[in-house]
Amino acid sequence: MDVRSTQVVDSGESEKAAAALGSLKARKTPWLRVNLRGLAFILGLLVILEILTATVVTSAYVPRVSEVGVALFKELKHGEIFSGIGITAWNYVRGLAIAIVLGVVLGAVLGASQTAYQFFRVVIEFLRPLPSVALIPFSILLFGVGSTTTIAMIAFASFWPILFNTYYGVRDVNEIAVDTGRSLGLSRLAIFLRVQIPSAAVNIAAGIRISSAIALILVITVEILTRSGGLGYYIVRMQVAMRTEDMYAAIFVVGMIGYAISLLFASLERRLVFWNTDIRQSETS
């Protein structure tokens, strides 16, 4: 092998190493990167709110940001709010898990079989537009006031985005990939599991991510309306007791939980659906 060919090999190896290093950095970047502009915006907004609540909006029902911060610190220190967080989180996880399992399984079956979709189409189109909040009284009559009602409402509301994203993901799989699987001798079940489901993974992940936010909205809404415990009931108790600082502190905690859930599902999507180039482009932009 001459010097020129050696240089070509070396340059090829260096390019591969650089690409691998760049991929490794890209995977680590989302954890290490700090959104300074977003952080500056939040801090500036808090300062503006502090000034407005101290000078312009002087109402007992609108406490200052600093007062809410002190109340939040006290609640976290005494631990009273943690019981509400635990109840809300446990109901949230169970309701969303049920929605994920049912949505992915049924969506995959309906997407793979047009006959099955036509069979269930009327029921789906009837139930899908129903507002979840309107079904709370019926759920209370059926399950009573408690965690079962909360979980049922979470599962119902979170089920639809997962179902339809899975359905369209499986249905819109490239026919060439399916035909290739058939030409390789794969059975219909093998094509479904090894071709259609992996191809629909991007859509499924998007549906789960949308439903994760819907589930948080429903769990707080049901807890507020039924007063069955959790952060929603905690907010109502603070409002009735005129402890407005504690009420806003609990609302802030709900917002932080929502932000943490968004980061968690985004991280899971990056790891499990790592071939989705749209996610990488949005992170690097």
Model pLDDT for residues 128-151, shown as the tens digit of each residue:
888 888 888 889 888 888 889 999
How far apart CA 191 and CA 188 sit, in angstroms, is: 5
Percent of the chain with pLDDT over 70: 84
Model-level pTM? 0.79
Q: Residue 146: enclosing H or E segment and its boundaries?
A: none
Asked if residue 17 has pLDDT above 50, the reply is no
Q: Report the CATH fold assignment for 64-284.
A: MetI-like fold (1.10.3720)
Tens digit of pLDDT for each residue in 85-142? Answer: 999 999 999 999 999 999 999 999 898 888 888 888 888 888 888 888 888 888 988 8
**Average pLDDT for 64-76:** 87
Identify the DSSP state of 62.
B
How far apart CA 174 and CA 191 sit, in angstroms, is: 12
Q: Which residues contact 192 (CB under 8 A, 6 or more apart)?
A: 108, 112
Tell me the β-bridge partners of 59.
62
Which two three-digit tokens encode residue 204?
Answer: 């499924």
Who has greater pLDDT, 257 or 145? 257
Question: For residue 151, what pLDDT is reported?
Answer: 94
User: pLDDT-derived band of residue 8, with 50, 70 and 90 as boundaries?
Assistant: very low
Which two three-digit tokens encode residue 90?
Answer: 């446990």
Question: For residue 160, what pLDDT is reported?
Answer: 94
Q: Which residues contact 1 (CB under 8 A, 6 or more apart)?
A: 9
How far apart CA 207 and CA 104 sit, in angstroms, is: 9
Asked if residue 281 has pLDDT above 70, the reply is no
User: pLDDT-derived band of residue 211, with 50, 70 and 90 as boundaries?
Assistant: very high
Question: For residue 95, what pLDDT is reported?
Answer: 95
The per-residue pLDDT of the chain, averaged, comes to 81
How far apart CA 217 and CA 212 sit, in angstroms, is: 9
Question: For residue 9, what pLDDT is reported?
Answer: 41
Question: For residue 277, what pLDDT is reported?
Answer: 58
Tens digit of pLDDT for each residue in 155-186? Answer: 999 999 999 999 998 888 777 777 777 777 77
How would you label 96-110 residue by residue, b for 16+ Cβ within 10 Å and e otherwise?
bebbbebbbebbbbb
> Which three-class secondary structure state does DSSP give residue 63?
coil
**Average pLDDT for 238-262:** 91
Asked if residue 213 has pLDDT above 60, the reply is yes
**Would you list the domain boundaries of the chain?**
1-33, 36-62, 64-284
Q: Phi, psi (5° rounding) for residue 62?
A: -125, 90
Contact status, residue 226 vs residue 136, Cβ threshold 8 Å:
yes
User: pLDDT-derived band of residue 65, with 50, 70 and 90 as boundaries?
Assistant: confident
Who has greater pLDDT, 207 or 20? 207
